[in-house]
Amino acid sequence: MSRITNFSAGPATLPLTVLEQVQEELLDWRGSGMSVMEMSHRDKEFMSIASEAEKDLREVAGIPQNYKVLFMQGGATAQFALIPLNLLRGKAGADYVLTGDWGKKALKEAGKYGKASVAATGEAGKFTSIPDRAGWKLDPDAAYVHITTNETIHGVQFQSTPDVGGVPLVADMSSDILSRPIEVSKFGLIYGGAQKNIGPAGVTIVIVREDLIGQASAMTPNVFDYKQAADNESMLNTPPCFAWYVSGLVFKWIKDNGGLAGVGARNQAKAKRLYDYIDSQDFYRNPVAKADRSVMNVPFTLANAELDADFLKGAKAAGLSGLKGHRAVGGMRASLYNAMTEQGVAQLVDYMKEFARTKG
Ligand SMILES: *Cc1c(COP(=O)(O)O)cnc(C)c1O
């Protein structure tokens, strides 16, 4: 077996021990005589998998009792519509703070269901920094304020939770959920697809404060109504069973590896190693304001873009994959999710040094 060091932005690398456990349990899950893929979601075996995953997630993330945890489908992209459908609650509109392309997508989708206003945007600076909180134009009557805690494409991340007063704060955490301790009580709703920092694609985690649900717009499809999902323990219809199961194993892996504090410290150390190297020389460059740099996704350019293809080819030969940057920003991007090891980042930095030495 040969496993590559995978810097893909998503779907992304998973902890090896989790994959090994999945492999070991694949044909016969704990004496049930079947794989998790083959079980009825109504049987006690899967019910135990589902409830244990929720219990572990609540423990790991410190989710208060007055929050519901939903295991949904449709990815973060479906949530872009479900959030206004469920949370507008008769109000005219919501505020969006744009720090990259994902926030723009969320804004555009929300505009189909209500007034979606731009409270602040970093677009003039090509999304290389978070707009200063003092300049945000927030409407105190907004149904919610939406932020993207980590913009996966631009590599810009909120380093603290902004204060938006009494209006519920809604956060797309798709690419940094469970990467560091979360102050859940500061949010009205947190959401994220699993495929970046949690598990396989197919399940979307929604953590929502109880008092915000139950007032969905009448046109909301039943399976996408948070109240219905909560009342039915995310099993109004067949849930994404296998993705839910693997996510549950990852929650246990986090528990066994120092919880979010431990994971967060390792993520800081990994990102520091890469940024320190980038800042120490002139061949590679990261354009993001230092205070707003993402710990999860590190975009960087080479001094000469004509060397990009060569860089990627050499990387592949050195056992490093998934480094091609998003087409919107070009260059390279290294995603350093929880399952990326410190050794993997060291390997990348060594390769970058050698490439710059020989080709730069
Ligand atoms: C990947 C990503 C999305 C889209 O996720 P899907 O699950 O593919 O819909 C949305 N927001 C952010 C911040 C992302 O990184």
Q: Please work out whether the CB of residue 175 comes within 6 Å of at least one atom of ligand 1.
A: yes
Ligand 1: distance of its center to the CA of 75 in Å? 7
Active-site positions read 102, 172, 196
Q: Please work out whether the CB of residue 225 comes within 6 Å of at least one atom of ligand 1.
A: no
Ligand 1: distance of its center to the CA of 29 in Å? 31
- Give the residue-averaged pLDDT of 7-25: 98
pLDDT tens readout for residues 216-236:
999 999 999 999 999 999 999
Ligand 1: distance of its center to the CA of 96 in Å? 16
- Which residue is associated with the tokens 């049987």? 43
Looking at the CA of residue 78, tell me the nearest atom of ligand 1.
Answer: 9
Give the pLDDT confidence score for residue 360 in this predicted structure: 84
**Residue 59 binned pLDDT confidence (cut-offs 50, 70, 90):** very high
CA distance 270 to 272: 5
Atom 13 (ligand 1) nearest CA: 174
CA distance 69 to 196: 18
Q: Please work out whether the CB of residue 202 comes within 6 Å of at least one atom of ligand 1.
A: no
CA distance 32 to 244: 18
Atom 4 (ligand 1) nearest CA: 76
Average pLDDT over the chain, rounded to an integer: 97
Ligand 1: distance of its center to the CA of 10 in Å? 9
Closest CA to 240 of 5, 49, 103, 9: 49
**Do residues 172 and 332 touch, judged by C-beta distance below 8 A?**
no
pLDDT tens readout for residues 77-112:
999 999 999 999 999 999 999 999 999 999 999 999
Residue count of the chain, please give it. Answer: 360
Q: Provide the terminal-to-terminal Cα distance of the chain, rounded to the nearest Å.
A: 34
- Angle between helix 342-359 and helix 259-279 axes, rounded to 10 deg: 10
Closest CA to 301 of 154, 131, 148: 154
**Residue 2 binned pLDDT confidence (cut-offs 50, 70, 90):** confident
CA distance 166 to 95: 13
Q: Please work out whether the CB of residue 79 comes within 6 Å of at least one atom of ligand 1.
A: no
Of 72, 82, 102, 156, best ligand 1 pocket probe by most atoms within 8 Å of the beta carbon: 102
**Do residues 155 and 288 touch, judged by C-beta distance below 8 A?**
yes
CA distance 235 to 222: 11
pLDDT tens readout for residues 130-185:
999 999 999 999 999 999 999 999 999 999 999 999 999 999 999 999 999 999 99
Handedness of CA 22, 200, 264, 301 (dihedral sign): positive
